[in-house]
Structure 1
Amino acid sequence: MNRRPMKWQLMAAAAVLAGSAAPAFAAPPVPQTVQIRGLFGESDEEKAARLKAEARENDQDAGIAELRQRMSDLEQALRIANGTNEQLSHQLNVMSQRLDKQQKDYDYKLCELSSQVLGTAGQAPGQGALPCDFSGGSQAAPQASAQPSQAMGSGPNGGTLGTLPANPGVQAGAPAGDPARGQYDEAMNLLARARYDEARAAFRGFADANPKDSLAPQAVYWVGNIAFVQKDYAAAASAFAEQIKKYPSSPQGAESMLKLGQSLIGLGEKKEGCLTLGAIKSKYKQAPANILTQAANARDKFCAK
Protein backbone atom coordinates (compact mmCIF):
# COMPACT_ATOMS: atom_id res chain seq x y z
CA MET A 1 0.00 0.00 0.00
CA ASN A 2 1.36 3.32 -1.00
CA ARG A 3 1.28 5.60 2.07
CA ARG A 4 2.65 8.69 0.38
CA PRO A 5 -0.47 9.58 -1.56
CA MET A 6 -2.51 9.02 1.57
CA LYS A 7 -0.39 11.62 3.36
CA TRP A 8 -1.00 14.16 0.70
CA GLN A 9 -4.69 13.46 0.77
CA LEU A 10 -4.81 14.00 4.53
CA MET A 11 -2.94 17.25 4.19
CA ALA A 12 -5.26 18.44 1.50
CA ALA A 13 -8.31 17.57 3.61
CA ALA A 14 -6.87 19.41 6.56
CA ALA A 15 -6.33 22.46 4.41
CA VAL A 16 -9.91 22.37 3.21
CA LEU A 17 -11.20 22.05 6.74
CA ALA A 18 -8.99 24.91 7.89
CA GLY A 19 -10.20 27.14 5.06
CA SER A 20 -13.80 26.44 5.82
CA ALA A 21 -13.42 27.13 9.53
CA ALA A 22 -11.37 30.31 9.16
CA PRO A 23 -14.30 32.72 8.73
CA ALA A 24 -15.82 31.67 12.04
CA PHE A 25 -12.72 32.59 13.96
CA ALA A 26 -11.43 35.67 11.94
CA ALA A 27 -10.21 38.73 13.99
CA PRO A 28 -12.02 42.14 13.53
CA PRO A 29 -10.44 44.58 11.09
CA VAL A 30 -8.06 47.21 12.51
CA PRO A 31 -9.60 50.77 12.28
CA GLN A 32 -7.99 53.34 9.99
CA THR A 33 -7.41 55.93 12.74
CA VAL A 34 -6.23 54.83 16.14
CA GLN A 35 -7.14 57.13 19.11
CA ILE A 36 -4.05 57.34 21.22
CA ARG A 37 -5.08 60.02 23.78
CA GLY A 38 -6.33 57.46 26.20
CA LEU A 39 -3.20 55.43 25.75
CA PHE A 40 -0.45 58.05 25.64
CA GLY A 41 -2.16 61.40 26.80
CA GLU A 42 -2.92 64.59 24.74
CA SER A 43 -0.56 65.74 22.08
CA ASP A 44 1.51 68.87 22.33
CA GLU A 45 -0.80 70.70 19.90
CA GLU A 46 -3.88 69.76 21.89
CA LYS A 47 -2.26 70.79 25.13
CA ALA A 48 -1.21 74.12 23.66
CA ALA A 49 -4.74 74.75 22.38
CA ARG A 50 -6.25 73.86 25.75
CA LEU A 51 -3.84 76.10 27.65
CA LYS A 52 -4.51 78.94 25.24
CA ALA A 53 -8.29 78.59 25.73
CA GLU A 54 -7.86 78.49 29.50
CA ALA A 55 -5.63 81.57 29.41
CA ARG A 56 -8.22 83.40 27.31
CA GLU A 57 -10.95 82.50 29.78
CA ASN A 58 -8.77 83.61 32.69
CA ASP A 59 -8.07 86.90 30.94
CA GLN A 60 -11.77 87.44 30.33
CA ASP A 61 -12.57 86.72 33.96
CA ALA A 62 -9.83 89.08 35.09
CA GLY A 63 -11.10 91.78 32.72
CA ILE A 64 -14.67 91.40 33.99
CA ALA A 65 -13.47 91.57 37.59
CA GLU A 66 -11.45 94.70 36.80
CA LEU A 67 -14.44 96.35 35.10
CA ARG A 68 -16.64 95.55 38.09
CA GLN A 69 -14.05 97.07 40.40
CA ARG A 70 -13.85 100.18 38.24
CA MET A 71 -17.63 100.49 38.24
CA SER A 72 -17.63 100.17 42.00
CA ASP A 73 -14.90 102.81 42.27
CA LEU A 74 -16.81 105.13 39.92
CA GLU A 75 -20.02 104.71 41.90
CA GLN A 76 -18.16 105.56 45.08
CA ALA A 77 -16.51 108.55 43.44
CA LEU A 78 -19.90 109.68 42.13
CA ARG A 79 -21.44 109.47 45.59
CA ILE A 80 -18.58 111.53 46.98
CA ALA A 81 -18.90 114.04 44.11
CA ASN A 82 -22.65 114.34 44.69
CA GLY A 83 -22.06 115.01 48.35
CA THR A 84 -19.40 117.60 47.54
CA ASN A 85 -21.68 119.20 44.95
CA GLU A 86 -24.49 119.50 47.47
CA GLN A 87 -22.12 121.16 49.92
CA LEU A 88 -20.85 123.56 47.25
CA SER A 89 -24.41 124.34 46.14
CA HIS A 90 -25.36 125.17 49.72
CA GLN A 91 -22.30 127.35 50.18
CA LEU A 92 -22.99 129.10 46.86
CA ASN A 93 -26.58 129.73 47.88
CA VAL A 94 -25.47 131.21 51.20
CA MET A 95 -22.90 133.42 49.45
CA SER A 96 -25.49 134.50 46.88
CA GLN A 97 -27.89 135.52 49.63
CA ARG A 98 -25.15 137.46 51.40
CA LEU A 99 -24.13 139.22 48.18
CA ASP A 100 -27.75 140.02 47.42
CA LYS A 101 -28.23 141.56 50.86
CA GLN A 102 -24.97 143.50 50.55
CA GLN A 103 -26.03 144.77 47.13
CA LYS A 104 -29.37 145.92 48.48
CA ASP A 105 -27.66 147.61 51.43
CA TYR A 106 -25.27 149.31 49.02
CA ASP A 107 -28.10 150.43 46.74
CA TYR A 108 -30.03 151.76 49.70
CA LYS A 109 -27.09 153.75 51.06
CA LEU A 110 -26.24 155.02 47.58
CA CYS A 111 -29.83 156.10 47.08
CA GLU A 112 -29.84 157.97 50.39
CA LEU A 113 -26.57 159.65 49.45
CA SER A 114 -28.03 160.60 46.09
CA SER A 115 -31.07 162.03 47.85
CA GLN A 116 -28.82 164.27 49.91
CA VAL A 117 -26.76 165.34 46.90
CA LEU A 118 -29.90 166.00 44.82
CA GLY A 119 -31.67 167.84 47.62
CA THR A 120 -34.56 165.39 48.01
CA ALA A 121 -33.60 163.92 51.38
CA GLY A 122 -36.31 163.88 54.02
CA GLN A 123 -39.18 164.23 51.59
CA ALA A 124 -42.23 162.02 51.60
CA PRO A 125 -42.86 159.48 48.85
CA GLY A 126 -44.61 161.10 45.92
CA GLN A 127 -43.16 164.50 46.80
CA GLY A 128 -39.85 164.10 45.01
CA ALA A 129 -38.21 161.49 47.20
CA LEU A 130 -36.12 158.92 45.37
CA PRO A 131 -37.38 155.29 45.48
CA CYS A 132 -34.96 153.90 48.04
CA ASP A 133 -37.01 150.87 49.09
CA PHE A 134 -34.99 147.91 47.80
CA SER A 135 -36.85 145.25 49.83
CA GLY A 136 -34.09 143.90 51.96
CA GLY A 137 -31.68 146.74 52.26
CA SER A 138 -30.94 148.63 55.42
CA GLN A 139 -34.10 149.47 57.30
CA ALA A 140 -32.75 152.42 59.20
CA ALA A 141 -32.13 155.37 56.94
CA PRO A 142 -29.04 157.48 57.52
CA GLN A 143 -29.65 160.81 59.15
CA ALA A 144 -30.47 162.95 56.17
CA SER A 145 -29.78 166.62 56.31
CA ALA A 146 -32.76 168.85 55.74
CA GLN A 147 -30.49 171.15 53.76
CA PRO A 148 -29.06 170.29 50.36
CA SER A 149 -25.62 168.74 50.32
CA GLN A 150 -22.64 171.04 49.91
CA ALA A 151 -20.54 168.30 48.33
CA MET A 152 -20.97 169.52 44.76
CA GLY A 153 -19.17 172.82 45.26
CA SER A 154 -20.22 176.44 44.71
CA GLY A 155 -22.53 177.29 41.88
CA PRO A 156 -23.37 180.53 40.11
CA ASN A 157 -25.95 181.38 42.78
CA GLY A 158 -23.38 181.40 45.55
CA GLY A 159 -25.00 178.35 47.12
CA THR A 160 -24.57 174.78 46.13
CA LEU A 161 -23.84 173.66 42.61
CA GLY A 162 -25.87 170.85 41.19
CA THR A 163 -28.28 170.57 44.12
CA LEU A 164 -31.70 169.64 42.84
CA PRO A 165 -34.70 171.48 44.23
CA ALA A 166 -36.19 170.30 47.47
CA ASN A 167 -39.62 170.01 45.85
CA PRO A 168 -39.35 168.37 42.44
CA GLY A 169 -43.09 167.95 42.32
CA VAL A 170 -45.70 165.34 42.96
CA GLN A 171 -44.84 162.25 40.99
CA ALA A 172 -48.34 161.25 40.11
CA GLY A 173 -49.90 160.91 36.75
CA ALA A 174 -50.03 157.69 34.82
CA PRO A 175 -51.74 154.88 36.73
CA ALA A 176 -49.70 152.06 38.17
CA GLY A 177 -49.17 149.32 35.62
CA ASP A 178 -49.18 151.78 32.72
CA PRO A 179 -46.18 151.18 30.40
CA ALA A 180 -45.36 154.87 30.41
CA ARG A 181 -45.32 154.92 34.20
CA GLY A 182 -43.05 151.90 34.20
CA GLN A 183 -40.60 153.72 31.94
CA TYR A 184 -40.66 156.75 34.19
CA ASP A 185 -40.19 154.65 37.32
CA GLU A 186 -37.21 152.92 35.74
CA ALA A 187 -35.63 156.31 35.13
CA MET A 188 -36.23 157.20 38.78
CA ASN A 189 -34.62 153.94 39.88
CA LEU A 190 -31.55 154.73 37.81
CA LEU A 191 -31.40 158.15 39.41
CA ALA A 192 -31.74 156.58 42.87
CA ARG A 193 -28.65 154.48 42.13
CA ALA A 194 -26.70 157.58 41.07
CA ARG A 195 -26.48 156.30 37.50
CA TYR A 196 -26.90 159.82 36.24
CA ASP A 197 -26.06 159.39 32.57
CA GLU A 198 -28.47 156.48 32.21
CA ALA A 199 -31.16 158.25 34.21
CA ARG A 200 -30.81 161.41 32.15
CA ALA A 201 -31.12 159.43 28.92
CA ALA A 202 -34.12 157.52 30.31
CA PHE A 203 -35.95 160.71 31.30
CA ARG A 204 -35.16 162.21 27.90
CA GLY A 205 -36.49 159.13 26.16
CA PHE A 206 -39.66 159.16 28.24
CA ALA A 207 -40.32 162.86 27.57
CA ASP A 208 -39.76 162.46 23.82
CA ALA A 209 -41.96 159.36 23.61
CA ASN A 210 -44.74 160.73 25.83
CA PRO A 211 -44.84 164.52 25.37
CA LYS A 212 -48.50 164.74 26.45
CA ASP A 213 -48.17 162.49 29.47
CA SER A 214 -48.74 164.17 32.83
CA LEU A 215 -45.30 163.01 33.90
CA ALA A 216 -43.56 164.56 30.89
CA PRO A 217 -42.95 167.97 32.58
CA GLN A 218 -41.25 166.24 35.50
CA ALA A 219 -39.16 164.12 33.14
CA VAL A 220 -37.88 167.21 31.31
CA TYR A 221 -37.30 168.87 34.67
CA TRP A 222 -35.13 165.95 35.83
CA VAL A 223 -33.17 166.06 32.57
CA GLY A 224 -32.29 169.65 33.33
CA ASN A 225 -31.47 169.03 36.98
CA ILE A 226 -29.20 166.06 36.26
CA ALA A 227 -27.38 168.10 33.62
CA PHE A 228 -27.02 170.90 36.17
CA VAL A 229 -25.54 168.46 38.71
CA GLN A 230 -23.06 167.36 36.05
CA LYS A 231 -22.18 171.01 35.30
CA ASP A 232 -23.45 170.59 31.76
CA TYR A 233 -24.95 174.06 31.81
CA ALA A 234 -25.78 174.19 28.11
CA ALA A 235 -27.90 171.02 28.29
CA ALA A 236 -29.39 172.17 31.58
CA ALA A 237 -30.39 175.54 30.15
CA SER A 238 -31.93 173.87 27.10
CA ALA A 239 -33.99 171.46 29.24
CA PHE A 240 -35.19 174.16 31.65
CA ALA A 241 -36.17 176.44 28.76
CA GLU A 242 -38.06 173.54 27.17
CA GLN A 243 -39.86 172.82 30.41
CA ILE A 244 -40.92 176.45 30.86
CA LYS A 245 -42.05 176.84 27.24
CA LYS A 246 -43.85 173.53 26.74
CA TYR A 247 -45.32 173.21 30.23
CA PRO A 248 -45.87 176.76 31.56
CA SER A 249 -48.27 175.63 34.26
CA SER A 250 -45.97 172.96 35.63
CA PRO A 251 -45.43 173.08 39.41
CA GLN A 252 -41.69 173.14 38.71
CA GLY A 253 -41.94 176.26 36.54
CA ALA A 254 -40.46 178.69 39.07
CA GLU A 255 -37.65 176.31 39.97
CA SER A 256 -36.90 175.67 36.30
CA MET A 257 -36.67 179.41 35.70
CA LEU A 258 -34.32 179.79 38.69
CA LYS A 259 -32.06 177.02 37.37
CA LEU A 260 -32.26 178.43 33.86
CA GLY A 261 -30.90 181.74 35.12
CA GLN A 262 -28.16 179.96 37.10
CA SER A 263 -27.24 177.87 34.05
CA LEU A 264 -26.96 180.93 31.84
CA ILE A 265 -24.69 182.59 34.39
CA GLY A 266 -22.64 179.39 34.50
CA LEU A 267 -22.27 179.63 30.71
CA GLY A 268 -20.96 183.19 31.05
CA GLU A 269 -24.18 184.75 29.76
CA LYS A 270 -24.55 186.96 32.82
CA LYS A 271 -26.94 189.49 31.30
CA GLU A 272 -29.45 186.88 30.11
CA GLY A 273 -29.11 185.00 33.37
CA CYS A 274 -29.77 188.04 35.49
CA LEU A 275 -32.80 189.02 33.39
CA THR A 276 -34.18 185.50 33.84
CA LEU A 277 -33.70 185.60 37.60
CA GLY A 278 -35.38 189.00 37.83
CA ALA A 279 -38.43 187.82 35.88
CA ILE A 280 -39.30 184.90 38.15
CA LYS A 281 -41.51 186.89 40.54
CA SER A 282 -43.54 188.50 37.76
CA LYS A 283 -43.99 185.27 35.77
CA TYR A 284 -44.72 183.03 38.75
CA LYS A 285 -46.57 185.12 41.29
CA GLN A 286 -47.09 182.08 43.51
CA ALA A 287 -43.41 181.09 43.44
CA PRO A 288 -42.20 179.56 46.72
CA ALA A 289 -40.35 181.94 49.03
CA ASN A 290 -37.16 179.89 48.97
CA ILE A 291 -37.03 180.15 45.15
CA LEU A 292 -37.40 183.91 45.29
CA THR A 293 -34.75 184.10 48.01
CA GLN A 294 -32.25 182.08 45.95
CA ALA A 295 -32.97 184.24 42.90
CA ALA A 296 -32.40 187.44 44.91
CA ASN A 297 -29.15 186.14 46.37
CA ALA A 298 -27.89 185.18 42.92
CA ARG A 299 -28.72 188.61 41.54
CA ASP A 300 -26.98 190.32 44.43
CA LYS A 301 -23.87 188.27 43.79
CA PHE A 302 -23.68 188.28 40.00
CA CYS A 303 -25.90 191.08 38.73
CA ALA A 304 -25.22 194.04 41.03
CA LYS A 305 -21.79 194.73 39.53
Structure 2
Amino acid sequence: MSALGHVGAGAPAGTPAKLAKPRRRWLPYVLLLPGGLWLLLFFAVPAIQLFATSLYDPSGSLEEGYAMTWQFSNYADAAAEYLPHFMRSLGYAALTTVICLLLGYPLAYAIALKGGRWKNLLLVCVIAPFFTSFLIRTLAWKVILSDNGWVVSTLNALHVPLPDGRLLATTPAVIAGLVYNFLPFMVLPLYASLEKLDPRLLEAAGDLYARPVARFTRVALPLSMPGVVAGTLLTFIPAAGDYINAQLLGTNRQYMIGNVIQSKFLKVGDYPSAAALSFTLMAAILVLVFVYVRRAGTDEVL
Protein backbone atom coordinates (compact mmCIF):
# COMPACT_ATOMS: atom_id res chain seq x y z
CA MET A 1 0.00 0.00 0.00
CA SER A 2 2.78 2.41 0.88
CA ALA A 3 4.67 1.49 -2.28
CA LEU A 4 1.67 2.34 -4.45
CA GLY A 5 1.22 5.65 -2.69
CA HIS A 6 4.90 6.51 -3.26
CA VAL A 7 4.66 5.77 -6.99
CA GLY A 8 1.65 7.99 -7.54
CA ALA A 9 2.78 10.83 -5.30
CA GLY A 10 4.10 12.98 -8.15
CA ALA A 11 0.91 12.77 -10.24
CA PRO A 12 -2.02 15.19 -9.96
CA ALA A 13 -5.09 14.04 -8.07
CA GLY A 14 -7.07 11.56 -10.09
CA THR A 15 -4.23 10.97 -12.61
CA PRO A 16 -2.86 7.43 -12.89
CA ALA A 17 0.87 7.05 -12.28
CA LYS A 18 1.34 5.43 -15.70
CA LEU A 19 0.17 8.62 -17.45
CA ALA A 20 2.37 10.91 -15.34
CA LYS A 21 5.66 9.22 -16.24
CA PRO A 22 5.55 9.89 -20.03
CA ARG A 23 4.81 13.56 -19.36
CA ARG A 24 7.87 13.88 -17.16
CA ARG A 25 9.92 12.10 -19.79
CA TRP A 26 9.04 14.72 -22.42
CA LEU A 27 9.51 17.71 -20.13
CA PRO A 28 13.33 18.07 -20.57
CA TYR A 29 12.94 18.02 -24.37
CA VAL A 30 10.24 20.68 -24.22
CA LEU A 31 12.54 22.87 -22.10
CA LEU A 32 15.40 22.35 -24.58
CA LEU A 33 13.25 23.18 -27.60
CA PRO A 34 13.68 27.01 -27.57
CA GLY A 35 17.45 26.79 -27.24
CA GLY A 36 17.62 24.05 -29.86
CA LEU A 37 15.60 26.12 -32.33
CA TRP A 38 17.82 29.13 -31.67
CA LEU A 39 20.98 27.12 -32.39
CA LEU A 40 19.39 25.60 -35.48
CA LEU A 41 18.33 28.93 -36.98
CA PHE A 42 21.27 31.09 -35.98
CA PHE A 43 24.18 28.61 -35.95
CA ALA A 44 23.50 25.43 -37.92
CA VAL A 45 21.78 27.07 -40.90
CA PRO A 46 24.39 29.88 -41.25
CA ALA A 47 27.20 27.33 -40.86
CA ILE A 48 25.75 25.23 -43.69
CA GLN A 49 25.35 28.34 -45.84
CA LEU A 50 28.93 29.36 -45.04
CA PHE A 51 30.19 25.94 -46.08
CA ALA A 52 28.23 26.15 -49.33
CA THR A 53 29.65 29.62 -50.01
CA SER A 54 33.18 28.29 -49.53
CA LEU A 55 32.63 25.93 -52.48
CA TYR A 56 31.62 28.64 -54.98
CA ASP A 57 33.74 29.46 -58.00
CA PRO A 58 36.19 32.15 -56.76
CA SER A 59 36.33 33.72 -60.23
CA GLY A 60 32.82 35.11 -59.80
CA SER A 61 31.89 38.50 -58.38
CA LEU A 62 29.14 40.18 -56.41
CA GLU A 63 27.78 41.83 -59.56
CA GLU A 64 27.77 38.72 -61.76
CA GLY A 65 27.11 36.23 -58.97
CA TYR A 66 28.92 33.07 -57.91
CA ALA A 67 28.41 29.63 -59.42
CA MET A 68 28.39 26.49 -57.28
CA THR A 69 31.28 24.47 -58.69
CA TRP A 70 32.15 22.44 -55.55
CA GLN A 71 35.51 24.17 -55.51
CA PHE A 72 37.19 22.28 -52.65
CA SER A 73 40.49 23.70 -53.83
CA ASN A 74 39.44 26.95 -52.12
CA TYR A 75 40.48 25.38 -48.83
CA ALA A 76 43.89 24.30 -50.06
CA ASP A 77 44.53 27.69 -51.66
CA ALA A 78 43.43 29.57 -48.53
CA ALA A 79 45.56 27.41 -46.24
CA ALA A 80 48.63 27.72 -48.45
CA GLU A 81 48.36 31.49 -48.88
CA TYR A 82 47.37 32.47 -45.35
CA LEU A 83 49.05 29.80 -43.22
CA PRO A 84 51.23 32.44 -41.46
CA HIS A 85 48.09 34.34 -40.44
CA PHE A 86 46.54 31.14 -39.07
CA MET A 87 49.66 30.32 -37.07
CA ARG A 88 49.94 33.91 -35.83
CA SER A 89 46.31 33.88 -34.69
CA LEU A 90 46.70 30.61 -32.81
CA GLY A 91 50.01 31.75 -31.31
CA TYR A 92 48.59 35.10 -30.16
CA ALA A 93 45.52 33.37 -28.72
CA ALA A 94 47.62 30.78 -26.87
CA LEU A 95 49.95 33.43 -25.43
CA THR A 96 46.97 35.57 -24.43
CA THR A 97 45.35 32.59 -22.71
CA VAL A 98 48.51 31.77 -20.74
CA ILE A 99 48.97 35.38 -19.60
CA CYS A 100 45.30 35.68 -18.65
CA LEU A 101 45.57 32.46 -16.63
CA LEU A 102 48.68 33.67 -14.80
CA LEU A 103 47.04 37.01 -14.03
CA GLY A 104 43.49 35.80 -13.50
CA TYR A 105 44.05 32.84 -11.19
CA PRO A 106 45.58 34.82 -8.29
CA LEU A 107 42.90 37.48 -8.73
CA ALA A 108 40.05 34.95 -8.75
CA TYR A 109 41.63 33.11 -5.79
CA ALA A 110 41.89 36.32 -3.77
CA ILE A 111 38.30 37.35 -4.55
CA ALA A 112 36.81 33.91 -3.84
CA LEU A 113 38.72 33.01 -0.67
CA LYS A 114 39.97 36.33 0.71
CA GLY A 115 37.45 38.84 -0.60
CA GLY A 116 35.19 38.84 2.45
CA ARG A 117 32.69 41.70 2.40
CA TRP A 118 34.51 43.26 -0.56
CA LYS A 119 33.82 40.27 -2.80
CA ASN A 120 30.89 41.81 -4.70
CA LEU A 121 32.73 45.09 -5.22
CA LEU A 122 35.77 43.28 -6.57
CA LEU A 123 33.60 41.31 -8.98
CA VAL A 124 32.04 44.53 -10.21
CA CYS A 125 35.54 45.88 -10.85
CA VAL A 126 36.33 42.78 -12.91
CA ILE A 127 33.28 43.14 -15.15
CA ALA A 128 33.33 46.95 -15.23
CA PRO A 129 35.17 47.04 -18.62
CA PHE A 130 32.12 45.32 -20.15
CA PHE A 131 30.13 48.48 -19.50
CA THR A 132 32.14 50.12 -22.29
CA SER A 133 32.24 49.17 -25.95
CA PHE A 134 34.95 46.70 -27.03
CA LEU A 135 36.02 49.17 -29.71
CA ILE A 136 36.31 52.09 -27.29
CA ARG A 137 38.38 50.01 -24.85
CA THR A 138 40.80 49.09 -27.63
CA LEU A 139 41.03 52.71 -28.80
CA ALA A 140 41.84 53.67 -25.21
CA TRP A 141 44.79 51.28 -25.30
CA LYS A 142 45.90 52.94 -28.52
CA VAL A 143 46.13 56.22 -26.61
CA ILE A 144 47.82 54.60 -23.60
CA LEU A 145 50.50 52.91 -25.72
CA SER A 146 51.07 55.84 -28.07
CA ASP A 147 54.58 57.19 -28.58
CA ASN A 148 53.78 60.23 -26.44
CA GLY A 149 51.93 58.27 -23.77
CA TRP A 150 52.97 57.85 -20.17
CA VAL A 151 53.77 54.14 -20.61
CA VAL A 152 56.43 54.72 -23.26
CA SER A 153 57.77 57.76 -21.38
CA THR A 154 58.11 55.72 -18.19
CA LEU A 155 59.84 52.83 -19.94
CA ASN A 156 62.23 55.22 -21.68
CA ALA A 157 63.01 56.89 -18.35
CA LEU A 158 63.82 53.45 -16.91
CA HIS A 159 65.98 52.69 -19.99
CA VAL A 160 63.86 49.67 -20.90
CA PRO A 161 64.59 48.71 -24.53
CA LEU A 162 61.57 48.87 -26.83
CA PRO A 163 61.23 47.51 -30.37
CA ASP A 164 61.91 50.46 -32.68
CA GLY A 165 61.70 52.68 -29.59
CA ARG A 166 57.89 52.37 -29.39
CA LEU A 167 55.10 50.10 -28.16
CA LEU A 168 52.24 50.93 -30.49
CA ALA A 169 52.13 48.98 -33.77
CA THR A 170 54.10 46.09 -32.27
CA THR A 171 53.30 42.53 -31.21
CA PRO A 172 53.43 43.36 -27.46
CA ALA A 173 50.78 46.03 -28.02
CA VAL A 174 48.46 43.53 -29.73
CA ILE A 175 48.99 40.96 -26.96
CA ALA A 176 48.38 43.62 -24.31
CA GLY A 177 45.09 44.58 -25.94
CA LEU A 178 43.99 40.95 -26.20
CA VAL A 179 44.86 40.26 -22.56
CA TYR A 180 43.02 43.33 -21.33
CA ASN A 181 39.88 42.64 -23.35
CA PHE A 182 39.62 38.92 -22.56
CA LEU A 183 40.91 38.79 -18.96
CA PRO A 184 37.38 38.89 -17.46
CA PHE A 185 36.49 35.78 -19.48
CA MET A 186 39.22 33.99 -17.55
CA VAL A 187 38.56 35.44 -14.11
CA LEU A 188 34.82 34.78 -13.89
CA PRO A 189 34.90 30.99 -14.51
CA LEU A 190 37.88 30.67 -12.18
CA TYR A 191 36.03 32.58 -9.49
CA ALA A 192 32.91 30.43 -9.91
CA SER A 193 35.02 27.30 -9.48
CA LEU A 194 37.13 28.57 -6.57
CA GLU A 195 34.11 30.01 -4.77
CA LYS A 196 32.81 26.45 -4.31
CA LEU A 197 36.10 25.34 -2.75
CA ASP A 198 35.71 24.52 0.96
CA PRO A 199 38.42 26.45 2.87
CA ARG A 200 38.46 23.67 5.46
CA LEU A 201 40.17 21.44 2.91
CA LEU A 202 43.11 23.85 2.77
CA GLU A 203 43.12 24.06 6.56
CA ALA A 204 43.18 20.28 6.79
CA ALA A 205 46.10 20.14 4.38
CA GLY A 206 47.91 22.66 6.56
CA ASP A 207 47.21 20.58 9.66
CA LEU A 208 48.87 17.68 7.85
CA TYR A 209 52.01 19.82 7.48
CA ALA A 210 51.53 20.51 3.78
CA ARG A 211 53.45 23.56 2.61
CA PRO A 212 51.54 26.38 0.86
CA VAL A 213 52.81 25.24 -2.55
CA ALA A 214 51.67 21.68 -1.87
CA ARG A 215 48.28 22.91 -0.67
CA PHE A 216 47.84 24.78 -3.92
CA THR A 217 49.07 22.07 -6.30
CA ARG A 218 47.39 19.14 -4.52
CA VAL A 219 44.15 20.69 -3.26
CA ALA A 220 43.19 24.06 -4.78
CA LEU A 221 44.36 23.55 -8.36
CA PRO A 222 42.83 20.07 -8.95
CA LEU A 223 39.49 21.16 -7.47
CA SER A 224 39.45 24.32 -9.63
CA MET A 225 40.32 22.55 -12.90
CA PRO A 226 36.76 22.91 -14.30
CA GLY A 227 37.16 26.67 -13.97
CA VAL A 228 40.61 26.54 -15.57
CA VAL A 229 39.28 24.58 -18.54
CA ALA A 230 36.24 26.83 -18.97
CA GLY A 231 38.33 30.00 -18.60
CA THR A 232 40.95 28.92 -21.12
CA LEU A 233 38.28 27.99 -23.65
CA LEU A 234 36.37 31.24 -23.18
CA THR A 235 39.62 33.16 -23.67
CA PHE A 236 41.30 31.21 -26.45
CA ILE A 237 38.31 30.86 -28.80
CA PRO A 238 37.37 34.57 -29.16
CA ALA A 239 41.02 35.65 -29.08
CA ALA A 240 41.84 33.40 -32.05
CA GLY A 241 39.16 35.03 -34.18
CA ASP A 242 39.73 38.62 -33.04
CA TYR A 243 40.81 41.28 -35.53
CA ILE A 244 40.12 44.61 -33.78
CA ASN A 245 43.23 44.54 -31.58
CA ALA A 246 45.58 43.69 -34.45
CA GLN A 247 44.01 46.35 -36.66
CA LEU A 248 44.12 49.18 -34.10
CA LEU A 249 47.22 48.27 -32.07
CA GLY A 250 49.38 46.60 -34.73
CA THR A 251 50.33 46.74 -38.39
CA ASN A 252 49.91 44.33 -41.27
CA ARG A 253 52.85 42.42 -39.81
CA GLN A 254 50.66 41.58 -36.81
CA TYR A 255 47.47 40.90 -38.77
CA MET A 256 45.61 37.78 -37.71
CA ILE A 257 43.37 35.54 -39.77
CA GLY A 258 40.36 37.54 -38.57
CA ASN A 259 41.77 40.60 -40.33
CA VAL A 260 42.06 38.65 -43.59
CA ILE A 261 38.50 37.34 -43.31
CA GLN A 262 37.13 40.79 -42.51
CA SER A 263 38.97 42.29 -45.46
CA LYS A 264 37.81 39.64 -47.93
CA PHE A 265 34.20 39.82 -46.80
CA LEU A 266 33.79 43.60 -46.46
CA LYS A 267 36.47 45.14 -48.72
CA VAL A 268 37.59 42.74 -51.45
CA GLY A 269 34.27 40.94 -51.80
CA ASP A 270 35.90 37.54 -52.25
CA TYR A 271 33.18 35.55 -50.51
CA PRO A 272 34.35 32.00 -51.40
CA SER A 273 37.86 32.54 -50.03
CA ALA A 274 36.54 34.35 -46.95
CA ALA A 275 34.07 31.53 -46.25
CA ALA A 276 36.79 28.91 -46.71
CA LEU A 277 39.04 30.76 -44.27
CA SER A 278 36.20 31.11 -41.76
CA PHE A 279 35.25 27.46 -41.94
CA THR A 280 38.88 26.37 -41.68
CA LEU A 281 39.38 28.54 -38.59
CA MET A 282 36.22 27.16 -36.99
CA ALA A 283 37.23 23.57 -37.73
CA ALA A 284 40.76 24.10 -36.40
CA ILE A 285 39.43 25.61 -33.15
CA LEU A 286 36.94 22.75 -32.72
CA VAL A 287 39.70 20.16 -33.12
CA LEU A 288 41.99 21.98 -30.68
CA VAL A 289 39.17 22.37 -28.15
CA PHE A 290 38.23 18.69 -28.42
CA VAL A 291 41.83 17.55 -27.91
CA TYR A 292 42.33 20.00 -25.04
CA VAL A 293 39.19 18.95 -23.17
CA ARG A 294 40.08 15.26 -23.59
CA ARG A 295 43.61 15.85 -22.32
CA ALA A 296 42.44 18.06 -19.45
CA GLY A 297 40.64 15.07 -18.00
CA THR A 298 37.65 16.88 -16.56
CA ASP A 299 34.00 16.21 -17.30
CA GLU A 300 32.68 19.22 -15.38
CA VAL A 301 33.10 22.37 -17.43
CA LEU A 302 31.25 25.37 -16.03
TM-score by length of 1: 0.22
Structure number with greater CO (CA < 8 Å, separation at least 6) is 2
Q: Would you tell me which structure has more helix in proportion to its own residues?
A: 2
Decide which structure has the larger Cα Rg and report it. Answer: 1
Give the TM-score normalised by the residue count of structure 2. 0.22
